[in-house]
């Protein structure tokens, strides 16, 4: 709850208000029913001396046991359980309070139980209707959270802007503690990102340039619970400038480096390289269904011909610091332009022949079917 309070403050306060109102209504109703049926001299003063601790306990349970967050995140069936949990916790803590302070001796146990029974019903009705009202009237259109890596944050924001989408929050995998990027707040960790999704009424979660295996399960669950679709705003390939450190003294040469999941949007599971090649030699002629790759040529010159099923592009790798990031679903051919050129590949998947497409017609059918979703 504490974490979430930073976000949906008004929403939480609405729920808290609804909780208090339901408890008061429940207490008045139960008192009325009790007095109506029993011809006894009941102490109203004592009744109210217990109602106040009841409300305080109710608020404490609300804040410490995150029931509101759960109430909002889970749908109707869960609400029945969550509201019951809330009421049972409150009942137990009130019992403890009365026992420890030895207060409320004139207060009937029957009324406590009746009050909590009614509280449960009111709570359920209030929470369900409140959430429905909020979802209907307070939801801003196109409130989006963008999930990407540090390296691609700027590009992703730009890309979404071009599509007319407003990014309200960012979740950066492998974040190096940036609070904001381009004035857009960054969720610190996956739990905070899920809290933002729940409380800020985010209605879309976009993913930019990420390999499927980098999307945290926790966030996927949060999206499922909130019935939010994950949408991909993807590129097929990107030419990257690999970081390069040149020594002051030229005889020491230059050093280039790449880090998996930081500079490239996938974990590196496999590395392979191709050597001893003749000029004008062809390799490739396949596409991957899952595998993301980064290609670079530390020595020589190699043309990479890319085909997305609609058009062909050629990227020439002719410098060691030029990297070519390939997302799945692209047909590629490699042509060695200089004899002895070396092609190095960093891959996101272990070798698996089943995720290859080696037949061009099959590739065309596959790319038509799985065409990248437009946001």
Residue whose CB is less far from ligand TYD, 81 or 351: 351
Query: Pattern of binders to ligand TYD over 226-265, x per CB under 6 A?
Result: ----------------------------------------
| Alpha carbons 140 and 143: distance in angstroms, whole number | 6
Q: How far is the CB of 342 from ligand TYD (least distance, A)?
A: 13
Residue whose CB is less far from ligand TYD, 137 or 350: 350
Helix/strand/coil for 138: coil
Q: How far is the CB of 271 from ligand TYD (least distance, A)?
A: 9
Q: How far is the CB of 346 from ligand TYD (least distance, A)?
A: 11
Residue whose CB is less far from ligand TYD, 191 or 270: 270
Of 218, 272, 273, 299, the one binding ligand TYD by CB under 6 A: 272
Residue 358 · residue 289 · CB < 8 Å: no
174 binds ligand TYD (CB under 6 A): no
Residue whose CB is less far from ligand TYD, 216 or 284: 284
In the residue annotation, 47 being an active-site residue is answered as: no
Pick the catalytic residue from 2, 47, 286, 288. Answer: 286
Give every CB contact of residue 88 below 8 A, 6+ residues apart in sequence. Answer: none
Residue 11 · residue 134 · CB < 8 Å: yes
| Best CA proximity match to 238, nearest among 162, 156, 168, 309 | 156
- 131, containing H or E segment: helix 109-137
Q: How far is the CB of 329 from ligand TYD (least distance, A)?
A: 16
Query: Pattern of binders to ligand TYD over 314-353, x per CB under 6 A?
Result: -------------------------------------x--
Give every CB contact of residue 71 below 8 A, 6+ residues apart in sequence. Answer: 15, 78, 79, 82, 83, 127, 131
| Alpha carbons 39 and 345: distance in angstroms, whole number | 86
Residue 211 · residue 348 · CB < 8 Å: yes
Structure tokens at 325: 């990031």
Of 174, 270, 289, 372, the one binding ligand TYD by CB under 6 A: 270
List the beta strands (DSSP E) in the chain.
143-149, 166-173, 180-181, 184-187, 204-208, 230-233, 237-241, 243-246, 254-257, 270-274, 281-288, 293-299, 302-307, 312-317, 322-326, 331-336, 342-347, 356-357
Site for ligand TYD in 276-295 (CB under 6 A): 283-284, 286
Residue whose CB is less far from ligand TYD, 220 or 271: 271
Q: What is the β-pairing status of strands 184-187 and 180-181?
A: antiparallel
Q: How far is the CB of 341 from ligand TYD (least distance, A)?
A: 13
How many residues touch ligand TYD under the rule CB under 6 A: the total is 6
Residue whose CB is less far from ligand TYD, 299 or 351: 351
Residue 352 · residue 311 · CB < 8 Å: no
Residues assigned a catalytic role: 286
Q: Give the footprint of ligand TYD on this chain (CB under 6 A).
A: 270, 272, 283-284, 286, 351
């Amino acid at each position: 709850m504490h974490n979430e309070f930073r976000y949906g403050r008004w929403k939480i306060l609405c729920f808290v208000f609804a909780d208090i109102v339901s408890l008061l209504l429940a207490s008045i109703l139960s008192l009325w029913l009790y007095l109506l049926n029993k011809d006894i001299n009941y102490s109203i003063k004592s009744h109210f001396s217990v109602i106040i601790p009841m409300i305080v306990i109710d608020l404490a349970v609300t804040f410490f046991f995150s029931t509101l967050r759960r109430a909002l995140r889970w749908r109707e069936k869960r609400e029945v359980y969550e509201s019951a949990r809330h009421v049972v916790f409150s009942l137990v803590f009130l019992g403890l309070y009365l026992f420890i302070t030895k207060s409320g001796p004139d207060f009937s146990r029957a009324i406590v139980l009746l009050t909590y029974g009614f509280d449960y019903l009111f709570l359920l009705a209030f929470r369900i209707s409140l959430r429905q009202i909020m979802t209907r009237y307070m939801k801003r259109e196109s409130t989006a959270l963008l999930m990407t890596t540090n390296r691609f944050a700027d590009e992703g924001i730009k890309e979404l802007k071009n599509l007319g989408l407003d990014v309200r929050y960012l979740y950066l995998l492998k974040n190096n503690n940036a609070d904001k990027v381009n004035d857009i707040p960054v969720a610190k960790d996956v739990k905070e990102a899920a809290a933002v999704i729940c409380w800020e009424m985010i209605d879309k979660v976009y993913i930019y340039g990420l390999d499927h295996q980098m999307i945290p399960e926790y966030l996927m669950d949060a999206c499922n619970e909130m019935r939010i679709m994950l949408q991909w705003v993807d590129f097929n390939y990107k030419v990257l400038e690999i970081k390069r450190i040149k020594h002051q003294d030229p005889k020491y040469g230059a050093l280039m480096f790449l880090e998996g999941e930081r500079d490239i949007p996938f974990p590196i599971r496999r590395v392979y390289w191709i050597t001893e090649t003749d000029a004008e030699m062809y390799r490739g002629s396949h596409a991957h269904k899952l595998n993301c790759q980064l290609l670079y040529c530390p020595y020589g010159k190699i043309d990479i011909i890319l085909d997305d099923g609609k058009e062909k592009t050629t990227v020439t790798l002719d410098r060691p610091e030029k990297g070519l990031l390939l997302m799945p679903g692209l047909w590629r051919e490699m042509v060695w332009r200089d004899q002895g050129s070396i092609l190095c590949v960093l891959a996101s998947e272990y070798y698996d022949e089943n995720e290859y497409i080696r037949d061009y017609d099959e590739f065309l059918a596959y790319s038509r079917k799985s065409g990248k979703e437009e946001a």
